[in-house]
Structure 1
Amino acid sequence: MPATLPPGLSAAAFSQALAGFRQAVGKTYVYADETALSSYLDPYSTTEDAAHTPAAAVAPHSVEEIQAVLKVAREYGIPLWPVSTGKNYAYGGPAPRKSGYVVLDLARMNRIIEVNARDGYAVVEPGVSYFDLYRYLKEHDIPLWIDCAAPGWGSVLGNLLDHGAGYTPYGEHLTMQCGMQVVLADGTVVDTATGALPGARASQLYKWGAGPWIDGLFTQSGLGIVTRLGVWLMPEPPGYRPFMVTFPDEDALHDLTEAIRPLKLNMVIPNGATSVELLWEAATRVTKAQYYGGKGPLPPSVRRKLMADLDIGAWNFYAALYGPPPMIERSWSVVRDALGKVKGARFYTDRPGDTAWEYRAKLMRGIPNMTEYSLMNWIGSGAHIDFSPMSAPTGDDAVRLYHLIKDKVEARGFDYIGEFLIGWRDQHHIFMLIFDRTDPQERERAHQVFGEIVADAAAQGFGEYRTHLDFMDQIAATYDWNDHALRRLNERVRDALDPGGIMAPGKMGVWPRRMRA
């Protein structure tokens, strides 16, 4: 019997529930001992493991097994926490929102149900990773590209449901979703939108169906367990040109962002255009200890040496062009003219031997890899949580966010490691707060400063688009217009669909009635 029990449940009652779970999925796929459950902890948490220790984990293999698990959970009032591959590190990984939940591990549901080469889509289950889908396309010689997040081991379905983004022209993952199958808390199975029509011929081609479009309700919500998802894939283009532009001055961020915006709005640059700060770029190739033995952030002299040694800038812009070669050449002349006006611009279309260039060039053509995880080597025993506010793609907003975060974290002894990614009309700012996970004091400082920059950013109108388990309530509380009208609406929907409050309680700060106090 595990040391952690679901809230309000006795050891005897939980033992009976575990027996029910074993009957539902088989004894082999119910994990309740300490050793097995250690793989469901968050290795990057700034808080103690006790804050997010599951009581058990259950790994179903089918919709029918999920329905059987839900029946047991409803009977005993056990909160479930669904994860797909459990690789959402920096945001919680496989750990549940609170201790005592049972993790619903969907990694065994890993079928690629369909790939349609003619119409450019795939239908996948939760356990399908970017690597899985990429290999399938290659093995079957299908001329389609995936759009992947930086770590290729993540779930295609899971990243999309968490509003993740990538680096090809199909980088807005939720925009590329079309149709899903969902199991509700009461066990009802729903095919959404056009898929609700029996024998539908366009269920992965037309997103909206008839009536209200409800697919978005099942993203970042826990309102249902998504067991199948349609996702559009990019036809392989006849030409591809990745490029990098470096800028030596920190102050270039403003003019660079201003130059990028019209290129993005007019689709001259069609993919996720990314401005990467010096240390993010450097940390894929070197460690901090190789350049600096002191404590705190790197001094300016060391930063200059890094730039010279690695031939990189204070800011490093990545994007790509796609299509017939003549079209690429015309677009390239426009890009060079626009970005060349920013002080100090240096252009590259190839950088042999540069690890950072190689992994970025792969991401922008949909080749999954794990290179970005080498950033954890920047410091010994590195871990990270990510702060991800949204803004308009303006130079003023970029500079304001950059200094809001950089000045605060450097004052607390941390390095600023971040990037700005411009999507269709928004700007993601991804700040990676890297800390020593073996140092309790540093973990505590990281936790404190993270909470402070959440509050500071919200006060200036910058809200996060996703966050770590520990900060979900704080983030939700910042969306407080009209006396938290949005949260109250979310709560009403949750109570209607899940009156027992068993489905991912507290996901993104939305709690069921029985746990709100």
Structure 2
Amino acid sequence: MSADTATSSRDEFLRRAAAIVGAEHVVRPDAEDGYLDPYPLNPGRSAWPGVRPAGTEEVQALVRLAGETGTPLWTFSRGKNLGYGGPEPRDQGMVALDLSRMNRILAVDDRLGYAVVEPGVTFFDLFEYIREHGLNLWMSVPALGWGSILGNMLDRGYGMTPLGDHVKSLCGVEVVLPDGDLLRTGMGAMEGTDLGPIFQGGFGPTLDGLFTQSNLGVVVSGGLWLMPAPQAFANGDIMVEREEDLPALIDVLTQLRREDVIQNNALCGNVVRAATMRGARKDFWDGGGSIPDWRLEEMRRDFGIGQWNAKFGLYGDPGLVRRRLEIVRDRVTAAVPGARVDARVYEGEEGRRLDHERIAEADRTQMAGVPTLKPLSTVAWASENGGHIDAAPIIPARGEEVYAFYQEAKALYAEYGFDLYIGYHLYPRHMVHVTMIFFERGNEEMLARARELYTRLLDAARSHGYAPYRSHVDYMDRIAAGFDFNDHAALRFQERLKDAVDPRGIISPGKQGVWPARFRGAHASGPGGIPRAEAELTASTAAN
């Protein structure tokens, strides 16, 4: 099908969509409010169109219209997935299905600790709701609070409280299927029940996971678990001065997490990460290439921090919090001689639940479940017109492996002239090896280096059996191709599911490298339809 025919189908969809959502909620091609990656790795793309439904019935009508006209939809909750493409589609022939207007908080249960939200509800929204209603609940928040709670859970994002592995708090979803039908998963599949957001199972195969990082339907609401507001909270810091002490630090922190002494997934950062919170690169180094180690050592001393700086949280009964802190201090200083462990302990008034207002403003952070936009300033590290891409492979939480891959990443960053930003998230058995590549938007020479560095990082990770847990839209095919056991059996099964549930290939074609049959030939080569790495995607994919 020609590009002209595809454009005609898309235009028909947009014209008829106006009767469903209202003309003011249809974004036309190249409109000023059109959809673009705010930090494009490949600049020069034009803004693309979209529709903004206000409720489930409008989503159902739009999905049915998309099937009728053969128009593929790229679905997102708020488009704030910065460093991964934002609202950018896999293909310019798609239309955005922007769910940000669906922003109702449908339920919050203070007693059992759960909420039910639509995809447009942000972390700020739920935090303010809990505060305004005086509820004894804390939530988990990621680095930036302006994103969708539901979208973050579905994309396996994370925060820094005990419920920080957000997808594990997902409990029951309502989904518009590619034919416009409406599905509730788990216990919510029964009429007249409130068990949907309480029990993660159901009767028969569990379906919630099919809709995480998925293009099998459009999630229009979902349940999430919240934690009781604690009586006490400790915001802890660990500083380690020697770079080579990283393995011991990783091992002791993850062991403490496995034993549930430390109750959240600790964060471990380097000097560059600390510097991005304090200013721009030019404030610390005006030379070429990566900031050298000797200068980083000077910066560390000036900041009064370690080469490695970990943050952890403790929550609950005041006596237990203090005892846990004693154990953390004893175990860390024994494992890492010279390590410094500091913590501030806050308690609720007269034994009551702790109110955030009793926490010092400096400690009122994501560790305490408080949403913020403060880390957004780090994007200006390389330039006032800055951008970034996140490289975050999952690796085993073994200190020696973490350190070996760190050294490999450090050498690659130095080769390409970027500063190595480290923000490791430590789980009981794995860790997210978060590094960011900061660049100047529109600087083609720098962008070319950034793209090559990112590709080299992916290759290095794959050579060790590691892979990212989520991906920038431009690299979804490449990463999916690395899951190659038994001739890519996982991808072949995902393709069979896609073709069975969405035979028209309407919902987010190519998401996580899963293309429907109608587009597979154009975007794939090799056995099992393995997608081509970083293929240039055409604008003609909206063919009937």
TM-score of Structure 1 vs Structure 2, range by shorter chain: over 0.9
Higher relative contact order, structure no. (Cα contacts within 8 Å, ≥ 6 residues apart): 2
Distance between the aligned counterparts of 1:468 and 1:504, measured in 2? 14
Q: What is the deviation of 1:200?
A: 1.5
| Residue in structure 1 matching 2:143, options 140, 146, 150 | 150
1:493 counterpart residue number: 497
Q: Is the 8 A contact 2:175 2:182 kept in 1?
A: yes
1:324 counterpart residue number: 317
Q: Is the 8 A contact 1:222 1:507 kept in 2?
A: yes
Deviations 1:287-319 (A, max 9, x none): 211121111111122111211111111100100
Q: Is the 8 A contact 2:30 2:49 kept in 1?
A: no
| Residue in structure 2 matching 1:43, options 31, 38, 46 | 38
Listed as ranges, the gaps of 5+ residues in structure 1 are 352-356
Q: 1:65 to 1:257 in 2, by over 3 A?
A: same
2:404 counterpart residue number: 400
Distance between the aligned counterparts of 1:42 and 1:302, measured in 2? 34
Q: Is the 8 A contact 1:54 1:96 kept in 2?
A: no
Taking the TM superposition and a 5 Å limit, the aligned residue runs for 1:281-430 are 281-341=274-334, 342-350=336-344, 362-380=365-383, 381-430=385-434
Given the alignment of the two structures, is residue 475 of structure 1 paired with residue 460 of structure 2, yes or no? Answer: no
Paired residue secondary structure (1:349)? strand
Distance between the aligned counterparts of 1:378 and 1:312, measured in 2? 19
1:19 counterpart residue number: 15
Q: How many residues align?
A: 505
1:432 counterpart residue number: 436
1:225 counterpart residue number: 218
Q: 1:255 to 1:234 in 2, by over 3 A?
A: same
Deviations 1:83-111 (A, max 9, x none): 11110000111111111210000000000
Amino acid at match of 2:484: D
Q: 1:54 to 1:77 in 2, by over 3 A?
A: farther
Please, what TM-score do these two structures have when normalized by structure 1?
0.95
Paired residue secondary structure (1:242)? strand
Q: What is the deviation of 1:438?
A: 2.7
Please, what TM-score do these two structures have when normalized by structure 2?
0.90
Q: Is the 8 A contact 1:473 1:509 kept in 2?
A: yes
Q: What is the deviation of 1:16?
A: 2.3
1:90 counterpart residue number: 83
Q: Is the 8 A contact 1:318 1:360 kept in 2?
A: no
Q: Is the 8 A contact 1:6 1:55 kept in 2?
A: no
Paired residue secondary structure (2:423)? strand
Distance between the aligned counterparts of 1:17 and 1:203, measured in 2? 34
| Residue in structure 2 matching 1:215, options 191, 196, 208 | 208
Distance between the aligned counterparts of 2:237 and 2:122, measured in 1? 28
Q: Is the 8 A contact 1:25 1:65 kept in 2?
A: yes
Q: What is the deviation of 1:206?
A: 0.6
1:191 counterpart residue number: 184
Deviations 1:447-474 (A, max 9, x none): 1110111011111111110010111011
Aligned-pair Cα RMSD in Å: 1.7
Paired residue secondary structure (1:78)? coil
Q: What is the deviation of 1:194?
A: 0.2
Identity %: 38
Distance between the aligned counterparts of 2:478 and 2:339, measured in 1? 40
Amino acid at match of 1:176: S
Distance between the aligned counterparts of 1:398 and 1:491, measured in 2? 34
Q: What is the deviation of 1:345?
A: 0.8
Q: Is the 8 A contact 1:125 1:157 kept in 2?
A: yes
Comparing 361-370 with 338-347, greater Cα deviation is found at: 338-347
Paired residue secondary structure (2:368)? coil
Distance between the aligned counterparts of 2:454 and 2:4, measured in 1? 32
Amino acid at match of 2:116: V
Q: What is the deviation of 1:350?
A: 4.9
Distance between the aligned counterparts of 2:2 and 2:424, measured in 1? 40
1:234 counterpart residue number: 227
Distance between the aligned counterparts of 2:279 and 2:321, measured in 1? 34
Amino acid at match of 2:10: F
Distance between the aligned counterparts of 1:312 and 1:269, measured in 2? 21
Amino acid at match of 2:316: G
Deviations 1:213-270 (A, max 9, x none): 0110111111110000100001001100011011111111111011112101110001
Q: What is the deviation of 1:10?
A: 4.6
Distance between the aligned counterparts of 2:363 and 2:462, measured in 1? 31
Paired residue secondary structure (1:35)? coil
Distance between the aligned counterparts of 1:133 and 1:478, measured in 2? 37
Given the alignment of the two structures, is residue 167 of structure 1 paired with residue 160 of structure 2, yes or no? Answer: yes
Paired residue secondary structure (1:36)? coil
1:354 counterpart residue number: none
| Residue in structure 2 matching 1:456, options 455, 460, 482 | 460
Distance between the aligned counterparts of 1:246 and 1:71, measured in 2? 56
Q: What is the deviation of 1:68?
A: 1.2
Distance between the aligned counterparts of 1:35 and 1:511, measured in 2? 28
Q: 1:326 to 1:107 in 2, by over 3 A?
A: same
Distance between the aligned counterparts of 2:282 and 2:95, measured in 1? 41
